[in-house]
Structures are given as structure tokens and as C-alpha cells.
Amino acid sequence: MSENSESKKLQQYLSSRRSFLKKAGLLSGAGLILPAGLTSASGHSADAAPGSASAAIAGNGNTPGSAGRMVRIRGKVTSQDGGIQGVAVTDGLRITETDSGGAYELVSDGRRPFVYISIPAGYRIPTNPTGTARFYHKIEPGSNGEMTASFELESDPADRDNHRFLLLADPQTENEYEVERFHSETVPDIQKLIRNSGDDVPLFGMGCGDIMFDNLELFPEYEKAVKKTGIPFFQVLGNHDILFDVRSTEASYEVFKEYFGPAYYSFSIGEVHYVVLNNIFWYGAGYVGYLDKDQLDWLEADLARIEPGKTVIVAMHIPAESKQYSRFDDDSPSPRLSVSNRHELYRILEPYNAHILSAHTHESEHVFEGGVHEHIHGTVCGAWWTGPICFDGTPNGYGVYEVRGSELRWHYKSTGYDSDHQIKVYKRGADPEAPGEILANVWDWDPEWKVYWYENGTRRGRMARRRGYDPLAVELFDGPDKPERRTWVNAVPTDHMFYAPVPENGRDVVVEAVSRHGKTYSARID
């Protein structure tokens, strides 16, 4: 198919989707969304047939006067230059846009906790005093069922078409020891990176879930860390950031929401549209990766405002699909390590240049499924703060992303190392299954990378990628009493190990890796 016909197809798809969403009451132009069955501003009822799609979506199964009674919210979105037109305002299901004066009106189901905006490009990220992003108000109507919620943004003079962001997967602190390591190892590393990046490159951060390890009383320690970095941070909800002794999955998110606001939302910076999703479904005896209907409906409405072909970055905690299952010779992904309805997400993302950024598995992986490039990150805590690495040998660390217009570049930043630390090389025989070979762990590898080995300054050839175990992970984690702090941690097989046969008398052996972005990294045997 030609580029022109493909573009036409995407435009037709988006147009039909916008039409459906408007009819369903999920998306409006500037002004008020009037769900079916709700009394309008003029006092007349806009009735929908019982059981119709619009009634089900708009009413959400509630009638005025019930626990989910409707709330009318009015307000403005402004900057120092006056009202801002075209800003998306939402309650997490319905979306409206501000008019030419920055005003909006939204009718919400009173059970929805927040009214919030999708921060538009060209404005600074508003923050709480702690540095976490602030783009929401609690829905707290008066006795008349109405409330006012306005948002003030600051125009950003910086050119944010080029910007950077950090992705922190699984800080996962449970106690004072782990909090201290987070503050003394990760935070100074981030501060140093920020100092070295210069003031001319705008920068923000994202905490990609499992901010805590069940101990939600420690959220303020994460906030202290964010404040020390000096950059605004968005947060993703993880399976260890929830309450467990509750009656529903919705109730499990309450503490996270108290600190950080909505569990799913969007914002735009430069040419890129960002979406944060909540894919944690708690069912009382455990969790699975799942995106509920309200969230998928909201996402479809949110992206209907974005031109096909644009870069869309989706951050969520559980991967859409980790390939760990295949490395353990299982037939299908675990519902705890993947999103069970991921194909619905892929379908919604299909018109865009989409990347998914996820965490959760404590290992590094790049997955290409459903037309999407998914980046699964090594973690800040490694293997739950048991040592300096994750299950697969990826060092404790975080993702660093650089956006140039609509192009995305990235690398993994190992805590305590410079950004060129991308390879760990092991001596000949470090893998007992390959006694005559050296091996190298290239943790941020994807299929566009090339890995070579050199001897005495001469390139000997490409290294062979094979499934294997990182020798340091085996040394630190495998055994009945290892590791001391978390005896349930074990090394896992990974697909980013590389092998090469080296003579027993081989000298000055170097491994070189060339990334998909043309950056060359090298390392010698320790």
C-alpha cells in the first residue's frame, strides 16, 4: 500500500471513530457534553432509549439522586495570556474542550473522583509542592450538584519539540534500608545526569509504578526524592501501590490517588502525545493486567483528538506482553505479566507511531507486537534491592529518553555508571554450557543492534545471540540461601546474551555494540 493510500485510510478511520465517539457522548467539541437522560442547562431532558449504547455509556448505570448522581462542573483553563482554547477536560470518561475564552462545562457521574486536563503542548507542567504533576481537582460538588474547577497554566517559552524524560521503573521501597538506598544511590545519579544535560534541554520524569513495595506510608519518601531532582514527575500506578483488604479494584487505588491524582491521564509536549494508563486489576486474591472498559473508552476519545501518524507514548506498569513465558517454555503469557486484553490497546494505537513503556518484570526487553514497540525496563531497585542488578543481569537503573520532534531515542542509564555503560563482558567459560566462549550481556539490545568482538585490535566477527543466564545473576541469586535479603529471587534466562568462541590464549578481547541509533559502545572483560 502506498503512503498516500495508507494516510487516507488512517484519516477515514479517525473520522469515523470521532463520529462514533461524539454520538456515544464520550467526545465533544468546545462546550458541554450532555449525557443521555441528564437534564440539560435549559432544564429539558435529553432522553436516550433504555438499553441504548449512548444511555449505557453516558449514564454509567446511574440515575440522578443515586450514589452516582450527576455533577455539573464549570471552569476555565487560563494562562498569563488569557483563556486557552481547545484544552481537553475530562472526568476519566467524558471529554470536553475549552471554548475560545478557555471556558468549559462538563457533566460528570458523581462517582468519578477527579476532573482534570490533558496538559497541552506549549505550557509548563504544573506541579504540587513536592514536584509531582498537578493537573486535576477532586470532584466535590455543592448541595446543588455543581462545582467550579479552573486550571491555570504557564506558557513555556522553551522549544519543547526537543526534550528529554526519565523513566523510573519499580523504585519499590519497603523499609528504611531501601529508602536510604533510593535516596543515596538513585537520586544523586539523577541529579548528576540533570547537571550534565544542560539547561537548554527541557526534562521531566515518570515513575512507572511499584513506587512502593506495599508499604504505602512511604509515598512521602518518594515525594522527597522527586523534589530533590528538581524536575516535574508523572506517576504510574503499580501492583504494589494499591490497598489489598478492600471490596473492589476501584477502592484499591485510593491511597495512590490521594497522593498523585488520577490513575490514567494524558498530556502533550512538543509534537508527542503522552498517555499514562492503569492496568492493575485487583480481584481480592491477587492481580492481573487488564484495562477496563471506561479506560479504553476514554483512551479512544483522547486519541481521537490526535492526528494519525503522530508519535504516541503510553506508559503503564505491567507490560502489554512480556516474552518471559517463552523463555521458560510456557505456551502463553501469565496474566500477571501481561495485559489480558492487550489486543484492544493495540487496535486503538494502530493509527499512530506508538511506543509502550512498561516495568514490572525486573528485566530489560524490547517487544514488537501489534504494530507497537514496547520497552520493558530494568528497575531502579534491581532485584528488590538485593544487589546491583536485576534478574537478567541488567544493572539497577532507569530509562533516559530523548525526543527530537517526533523521533524517539533512548538508552538505559545504569546507576553509578556513565551513560556509555551498556555491556557486561564475561571471561571464557563463565557460562558452563559454553566453556570455550566469552559472553556479553547487552541489556538494552533490540533487533536493530549489532554486536562484534575484537582480539588484539582486529575485528573477529559478529557475536551470536543465544538464550542464556547472566553469570553474575547466577552467582548472586541462585542457591537455597541466596540472596540473603530476598531468598525468592532467582536468575532468569534472557535473550540479550551474546557468545563468541575465543582461543584459550586470546588477548585484549573487546566487545563492541552498535545501537539502532548508531551509537557505539565497547567493553573489556573485567
Q: Encode pLDDT of 220-254 as tens digits.
A: 999 999 999 999 999 999 999 999 999 999 999 99
What average pLDDT does the structure give for the chain?
A: 89
The reply to whether the predicted model has a pTM over 0.85 is yes
Q: Encode pLDDT of 115-126 as tens digits.
A: 999 999 999 999
Q: Would the pLDDT of 448 be above 90?
A: yes
pLDDT band at residue 27, thresholds of 50, 70 and 90?
low
The number of beta carbons lying within 10 Å of the beta carbon of residue 161 is 15
Q: Would the pLDDT of 386 be above 90?
A: yes
Question: Are 138 and 381 a contacting pair, CB within 8 Å?
Answer: no
Mean pLDDT of 190-200: 88
pLDDT at 505: 87
Q: Would the pLDDT of 433 be above 90?
A: yes
- Residue 58's SS3 state is helix
Mean pLDDT of 290-295: 98
Give the span between the Cα atoms of 386 and 482, in whole angstroms: 9
Question: Are 349 and 371 a contacting pair, CB within 8 Å?
Answer: yes
Cell numbers placing 509: 578481547
- Full set of structural domains in the chain with CATH: 18-152 (2.60.40), 162-414 (3.60.21.10), 424-524 (2.60.40)
* 169 CB-near residues (< 8 Å, 6+ apart): 208, 209, 210, 358, 359, 360, 377, 378, 379, 380, 398, 399
pLDDT at 412: 98
pLDDT band at residue 526, thresholds of 50, 70 and 90?
confident
Question: Are 241 and 391 a contacting pair, CB within 8 Å?
Answer: no
